[in-house]
Amino acid sequence: MSLSATGAVSAAFEQTGQQLFHPWRPRFWARMAVVAMTTGEFSSPGSYNEWGHWLPTSQPRRLNVPWRGTAKAIWERMLHFWPLLVVLAILTVVLAAMWIYMACVFRFILFESVLDGECDVKAGWPKWKPQGLSYLLWKVVLWLSTAVVTFALVGVPWAWAVHVGLLRRRWGHLPLSTPGGAVSLVFMALFLLTFGIASLLAQDFVVPIMALEKVGILEGWRRFYPMLRQEKKSYAGYLLMRILLSLGVAIVFGIASLLALLLMMIPLAILGLGIFLAGEAAHLAFNYYTFSAVVILAGGALAAIVYVLSLVSTPAMIFFQSYANHFLGSRYPALGARVFRGASPAPSSEL
């Protein structure tokens, strides 16, 4: 019998506890933290931007920041190292592209690791590269589509407003505050919602089909769509439950990640201060060598912070993957045979 969105929760909790705590396997946990770090499945506190703070007003406003002069002096000094800054920018872009590709491949490693209870990155990388590349290309197309739609629904109205001079008038006449602008925002919100749902369905359901049947992303969607069409209400319930669970997990693991971050900042701050004082005592000049050393040390500190946050978030990552596996496995025999190991899923009421 198919598991409901609520019925799969207890099964996912049970599997997460077994894989991490019965018995406790620190080596498995450490490896899964690498997976969490690569896929981006680690908690991070959200940020809130007050957009109105940056909007122009009728009177020009200048921010009175006490450290404005110091920051400007540091920036002007760093401009002397513009070749290194250019290299650093290019390297950042290259590393970001590599990270995105690795995240797509590691999504399949995550699925297999939770499914089998073992994490073997060395064997999983060559095994899942074809599916990871297909998944990446689909994501790129999705991102490009989002950029085009965003430009059409938001960028074009603002460009028109600049052209006709609306930005020189009161904010009540801005294009996004007119009926046409409101309609554009509604369509933009609907598109982003569709984008998010498609991404989540691909991550939780299409990826397992691609992995088990060794097919690409388009064939994976073709095989998943009949299941989605047949049980629309069940999958809608899954999406709703997934959102509610994500909110709860974000609060719990967000607090845990914040505490871990604060604990890490103390030794990192002491270490940074010690390195700075040692450099001052040795009368080191701020040149290409010291600048490069600062960048390397900062990168190492950032990697350590991300890895610790990934360690904290590993249980949540395993839970959500297990949750998707149990929900889909009760409807997809090829996955259910491995998730339930021959046992029938426990019946449960629909959400």
Q: Specify if 52 maps to a domain.
A: no
Q: Is the pLDDT of residue 166 over 70?
A: no
Q: Which residue has the higher pLDDT, 117 or 349?
A: 117
Q: Is the pLDDT of residue 304 over 50?
A: yes
- Quick check: pTM over 0.85? no
Q: Specify if 64 maps to a domain.
A: no
Query: Given this model, what pLDDT does residue 162 score?
Result: 65
Q: Specify if 173 maps to a domain.
A: yes
109 close to 41: Cβ distance less than 8 angstroms: no
Convert the pLDDT of each residue in 204-252 to its tens digit: 999 999 999 999 999 999 999 999 999 999 999 999 999 999 999 889 8
Q: Specify if 66 maps to a domain.
A: no
Cα separation, 306 vs 42, in Å, equals 8
Cα separation, 247 vs 227, in Å, equals 27
- DSSP-assigned states of every residue in 269-309: HHHHHHHHHHHHHTT---SHHHHHHHHHHHHHHHHHHHHHH
Cα separation, 250 vs 244, in Å, equals 10
Q: Is the pLDDT of residue 187 over 60?
A: yes
The percent of residues above 70 in pLDDT, for the chain, comes to 77
Q: Specify if 40 maps to a domain.
A: yes
Helices (H), the chain: 7-20, 26-39, 68-78, 82-116, 121-150, 156-164, 179-201, 207-213, 217-230, 232-281, 288-329, 333-339
Cα separation, 181 vs 171, in Å, equals 13
Mean pLDDT, the chain, integer: 81
Query: Given this model, what pLDDT does residue 138 score?
Result: 93
Cα separation, 345 vs 8, in Å, equals 9
The closest of 253, 263, 272 to 305, measured between CA atoms, is 263
Strand partners, 24: 21
Q: Specify if 1 maps to a domain.
A: no
Q: Is the pLDDT of residue 315 over 90?
A: yes
Convert the pLDDT of each residue in 35-87 to its tens digit: 999 998 875 433 334 433 333 444 444 444 455 555 565 566 666 666 777 88
Q: Specify if 55 maps to a domain.
A: no
Q: Specify if 2 maps to a domain.
A: no
Query: Given this model, what pLDDT does residue 72 score?
Result: 60
Q: Is the pLDDT of residue 175 over 60?
A: no
φ, ψ of residue 46 to 5 degrees: the values are -75, 160
Domain that holds residue 12: 7-44+78-339
Query: Given this model, what pLDDT does residue 121 score?
Result: 92
279 close to 290: Cβ distance less than 8 angstroms: yes
132 close to 108: Cβ distance less than 8 angstroms: yes
Cα separation, 292 vs 128, in Å, equals 35
Query: Given this model, what pLDDT does residue 226 score?
Result: 94
Cα separation, 289 vs 240, in Å, equals 53
Question: For residue 57, what are its two tokens?
Answer: 């007003």
The closest of 29, 224, 201 to 119, measured between CA atoms, is 29
Give me the number of domains the chain comprises: 1
